[in-house]
Amino acid sequence: MAYFTLVLAVVFAFIIALFAVQNSMMVNVTMLKWNIEASLVLVILGAASLGFLLALSLQLYVQVRLRFRLYKAQSRIKQLEQELGQFIQPDETDHQANAVIEPEIQPEIPVKTPGQ
């Protein structure tokens, strides 16, 4: 899955770079009170980079949260296993319960079929 994601990211980056190079004219970018004149290449690459950083930060947040939940779950499992170990004491009855019971061997009874 990681290989597929890497290939997809490279293809996407190539498409963005190709689009940016073919559109190299100067444009006005207006945001609230700010008005900036910049090359369309810089605007496209800047927007793509900002989107990448936002997606990366969201992914990192999700991973950290999941790792924390995993850590809490593992520590809870350890705690419950220790509590369970206090109640389970191995003794002779456990060994007898786990012993293999061999079936009784019964003699074969000859069966008569019609025509014998």
Per-residue b or e along 9-24, where b marks 16 or more CB atoms closer than 10 Å to that residue's CB: eeeeeeebeeebeeee
pLDDT in tens, 3-49: 898 899 899 888 888 887 788 899 998 989 889 999 888 888 888 89
* 3 state DSSP class of 116: coil
Instruction: Write the CA distances from 31 to 53, 54, 73, 81, integer angstroms.
Output: 20, 19, 46, 58
Instruction: Write the CA distances from 92 to 64, 70, 77, 82, 97, integer angstroms.
Output: 47, 38, 28, 22, 9
pTM over 0.85: no
Q: Which of 41-45, 54-58, 72-76 has the lowest mean pLDDT?
A: 41-45
Residue 110 has pLDDT above 80, yes or no: no
**Whole-number pLDDT of residue 75:** 95
Give the start-to-end residue ranges of the domains of the chain. 2-60
